[in-house]
Amino acid sequence: MKLIILKDYKDVGTKAAELVSKDIIKNKNLVLGLATGETMIPFYRSLVSLINNKKVDASEIKTFNLDEYVVFDKKNKNGYYYFMNKHLFSKIRIPAENINFLNGNVKNLDLECRNYENSIKKNGGIDLQILGIGRDGHIGFNEPGSSSKSRTREVLLSRITRKDNSRFFDGKISKVPKKALTVGIGTIMKSKKIILLASGVSKAKIVHRFLHGSIDKNIPASFLKKHRNITVILDKEAASELD
């Protein structure tokens, strides 16, 4: 594992964008796993800048996002497709058919998850997966207790996750969906390379447990320590409880 500690969340985003850009330059057909959340905003801003300054051609990459709320589709303004389109997809030249996203508003969610898993496999797996980390240690929407072998599936969201995400729903936890679709830990672990980003003092405790604690299913991110090619990028606040 490689650990990088930088000044603030903007620097975290800039560094991550630089690393991703290098991989796109090396492999124009890169299969890129993407995440959402506030920590990702400066990352996408920097990545868009690099691409639009013609330093990086991302027109042939393929993307797979980690998750989406159940009952949400591409048009929902609180959904993750809307977030990704706002911060990345609408700002770069990438064919719509290269963007892969879970649809939480279909009748057969199990089939949706199986098809998504199969699509990842058909594309050779994820070359580079971007991750954030929740206050309870979740990655994607793989909540505490998730199996290390889990695949793309429907999950029940923890109260901590829903409370944290309520800031995007007028501060009302009652408006946050109770279920979501997520790529599983087993699928994430098959990624050839992983970059995990964390920023802010609210992540300091879980970052310490993730990096210094034992591998524990109650801290899903801890499984990542078994991965042979992972880079963790933190700002000083997120790293404030590290030794």
Question: Among all residues, which ones are annotated catalytic?
Answer: 67, 136, 138, 143
Q: How far apart are CA 185 and CA 147, in angstroms?
A: 7
Question: Judging by DSSP bridges, how do beta strands 230-235 and 128-131 pair with one another?
Answer: unpaired
Is 74 in contact with 41 (CB distance < 8 Å)? no
Q: Please give the structure tokens belonging to residue 107.
A: 């009748």
**Helix, coil or strand: residue 183:** coil
Q: What residue type is 192 in one-letter code? A: K
Residue 86 makes CB contacts below 8 A (sequence gap 6+) with none
Is the C-alpha dihedral spanning 24, 26, 32, 34 positive or negative?
Answer: negative
**Which residue from 21, 13, 4, 64 is spatially nearest to 39, judged by alpha carbons?**
13
